[in-house]
Amino acid sequence: MKALLALFLAVSPLAAEPVAQKGELIFTDDFERSDLGDWKPLIPSFAVQNGVLKGWQTRDDHGAVGRVYRPMKDVIVEFKFKLDGSTGFNAVFDDKNHRGSHAGHICRVAFAPKQIRLGDDKEGVMRNDIFEMRKDPTKKKEADKLLVGRGTATNVTLDPKPWHRVAITILGDHMHVTLDGKPVGDLKSPGIAHETKQSFHFTVNGPGVLFDDMRIWAAK
C-alpha cells in the first residue's frame, strides 16, 4: 500500500484547468422530496432526508453505492458535500458494458479528510489484468510499474462541519477537480477519455456523507 500511495503522491504541479464550457444539462437534483428518485442504491444505504441525499455504509466489505444512470462522455459535474462522520467517499464514473475493468469502472475522484485522489480506473487499478496482479504478492512490483501516471493525489484538510463545493471537469483524457473554488487535482490519462460513461455514483464509507445541489452538464 505504501508503494502504491507513493505512486499517487508523486504529483507534478497542477496543470491549467481544461478549457470547457457548460453545454446541455444532463442531470440535476436538489433532493427537495422524500424519495430517492433516479438514484439507485446498488449497495445500501442511501436516503433523501431533509432536502439532502445521505449515504452511509452498512456492509463491512464495501461502501454504500448510490448511482444515477445517464450516458455521458465529456462533462462538468458539480455538487456539494458534507462529511457527516464518514472517513470519505468516492465520486465514480462507470460503463457497465466495458468488460476490460473491474465492474466497468472508468475513473474516479476519492475524497478523504486529509487527501483527494484522482484515478484512471480503466487503465489503472481496476483494469482486469492489474486488478488480478495486485492480488498476488509476487506480482505487486510489476503491477505498481503499470500504475505509474494513472493517478494523482493532493494533501488537503477537509473540515467536517461546513458544506464543501466540488467541480469535476472531464474533457478528453483530462480530469480536473476544484474544491471550494480552488484547484485540488489534475490528471491526464488515456482511460479518462472512454467514449461513454453510462453512470455516475457515490461510494460512501463510514457513518455518513451528505450531498446536495447535484448538476451534470455536457462539456464543450
Parallel, antiparallel or unpaired: strands 75-83 and 209-219: antiparallel
Candidates 102, 98, 52, 36; CA nearest to 71 is 98
Model pLDDT, residue 14: 57
* 128 φ/ψ angles, rounded to the nearest 5 degrees: -50, -45
Give the number of domains in the chain. 1
Task: Write down the pTM of the prediction.
Answer: 0.91
Least Cα distance to 70 among 47, 113, 37 occurs for 37
CATH of the domain at 57: 2.60.120.560
Q: Residue 63 to residues 103, 135, 182, 208, 213: CA-CA distances in angstroms? A: 14, 20, 28, 10, 22
Q: 174-204 pLDDT, tens per residue?
A: 999 999 999 999 999 999 999 999 999 999 9
Q: Provide the residue type at 29 as one letter.
A: D
Digit-coded pLDDT (tens) for 57-102: 999 999 999 999 999 999 999 999 999 889 899 999 999 999 999 9
Cβ 97 vs Cβ 138: under 8 Å: no
Give the integer Cα–Cα distance in Å for 186 and 14. 6
Q: What whole-number distance in Å separates Cα of residue 86 and Cα of residue 142?
A: 33
95-129 confidence digits (pLDDT tens) = 999 999 999 999 999 999 999 999 999 999 999 99
The whole-number pLDDT of residue 105 equals 98
Over 70: is that where the pLDDT of 151 sits?
yes
Cell 490519462 belongs to 189
pLDDT at 92 (0 to 100): 98
Residue 63 has which C-alpha cell? 461502501
pLDDT band at 3 (very low <50, low <70, confident <90, very high): very low
**Per-residue pLDDT reduced to its tens digit, 17-67:** 667 999 999 999 999 999 999 999 999 999 999 999 999 999 999 999 999
Tell me which residue range forms the domain holding 68. 2-219
Is the pLDDT confidence value at 1 over 70?
no
* Dihedral over alpha carbons 184, 195, 107, 57 (to 10 degrees): 120
pLDDT band at 5 (very low <50, low <70, confident <90, very high): very low
